[in-house]
Amino acid sequence: MRYDILNILRAKNDYVSGEELGNMLGVSRAAIWKSITRLKEEGYNISSVSKRGYRLIDNRDVLNENEVRYSNIICFKEVDSTNEEGKRQAERGCTDGLVIVSDYQSGGKGRLGRSWSSDRAKDLYMSIVLKPDISPMEAPQLTLIAGIAVAKAVKSITGLDAGIKWPNDVIVNGKKLCGILTEMSAEIERIRYVVTGIGVNINRESFEGELKDKAASIYTETGQKYRRSIFIDEIVSELMKYYRLYCKSGFSAVKEDYNSLCINIGRIVRTTGNKAIKGKALGVNDNGELLIETETSIVPVLSGEVSLRLEDNKYI
């Protein structure tokens, strides 16, 4: 009921008395007052004035199921990590496409076992549970699809020229805006489920230490604060569109869209590890592998870290 009240206050954009709200919803004024109190506790800025009623003062950045158009979603105030919660939901038999969102992660993580810093109620922490009929070897392709979704959403909402550094870092102005981590549960020949975690820096105002020159947020690049629910809707819409196309036709059907966003192409890159490869990136093939042209051959790279040389000869 409290979200029905919230929607009425949004539509009216003026004070509405408790009696009028009660008549509209068929409940007592006391029930209205209790619901208003709960909304305030959730973070909504609602003015209460004697003999005038209630008014929603502004649309604060509150995350809950009511704020998102996508229906297959669970929102939390705090979890250890949205990926871990996604795994728990998958083991309980959740449906394909379930989205997990949290205001805060106490144990967020990135690729290769790295930690993922979480600012409470400022950035976007979400995971989506997918159940594609593909082999475990193809699972990394889903990470690339998530990168397309985030980059396109950022472009659409903010106008920023977001690109993807292979395989899945979303980059704005040479700095990392988003990290994506895909984990799976699989048998020998089939995937049981995949959980793709997406962390986007939205309203963070600054970065410290080694992140200062490497990370960006929507706010640091635009000077504007955004409601995170807008990004959830846009990212999930793009992701599910590409996911359905992928499940129908394979990665080759989305390859060109990925390459159009890949900032590696035409630049010098180098891989990490014992057998480092250095050369010009040509784009990804039908398997999602990055093709690197060396002096002697074209080498497909399936996984790992790839550094990209920028115009000032710095690598990211």
Closest C-alpha among 278, 305, 307 to residue 293: 278
Distance CA 70, CA 230 (A): 11
C-beta of residue 40 within 8 angstroms of C-beta of residue 65: no
User: Which CATH number is 65-261 given?
Assistant: 3.30.930.10
In tens digits, the chain (316 residues) has pLDDT values of: 999 999 999 999 899 999 999 999 999 999 999 999 999 998 899 999 998 999 999 877 899 999 999 999 999 999 999 999 999 999 999 999 999 999 998 876 655 455 555 567 789 999 999 999 999 999 999 999 999 999 999 999 999 999 999 999 999 999 999 999 999 999 888 899 999 999 999 999 998 888 888 899 999 999 999 999 999 999 999 999 999 999 999 999 999 999 999 999 999 999 876 678 899 999 999 999 999 999 999 999 987 778 877 666 666 7
C-beta of residue 234 within 8 angstroms of C-beta of residue 153: yes
- The torsion angles phi and psi of 224, rounded to 5 degrees, stand at -120, 145
Closest C-alpha among 315, 316, 276 to residue 299: 276
Sheet holding 290-293, edge to edge: 298-301, 290-293, 278-284, 268-271, 306-308
Boundaries of CATH 1.10.10.10 in the chain? Answer: 2-58
Report domain 2-58's class: mainly alpha
Distance CA 84, CA 82 (A): 5
Boundaries of CATH 2.30.30.100 in the chain? Answer: 268-308
Domain 268-308 maps to which CATH number in 3.40.50.10320, 3.40.30.10, 3.90.980.10, 2.30.30.100?
2.30.30.100
Boundaries of CATH 3.30.930.10 in the chain? Answer: 65-261
Distance CA 159, CA 168 (A): 20
